[in-house]
Amino acid sequence: NKKKEGIFRKIFNLLDNDKDMVINILSMDIKRIPITIYNIIQPIINEIKFKNRDINQNEFIEGCMKLFNVLSFNDKRALLNFGTKI
Alpha-carbon Rg for the chain in angstroms: 12
Q: Which of 40, 48, 81, 84 is nearest to 64 (CA)?
A: 40
Residue 38 burial class via C-beta count within 10 angstroms: exposed 0-12, middle 13-18, buried 19 and up:
middle
Residue pLDDT, tens place only, 36-48: 999 999 999 999 9
- Residue 27: per-residue pLDDT: 87
Residue pLDDT, tens place only, 54-78: 999 999 999 999 999 999 999 999 9
- Residue 29: per-residue pLDDT: 92
Identify the band that residue 53 occupies on the pLDDT scale cut at 50, 70 and 90. Answer: confident
- Whether the pLDDT of residue 11 is over 90: the answer is yes
* Spatial separation of the C-alpha atoms in residues 14 and 33, rounded to whole Å: 7
- Packing angle between helix 42-50 and helix 57-68, nearest 10 degrees? 130
- Whether the pLDDT of residue 34 is over 90: the answer is yes
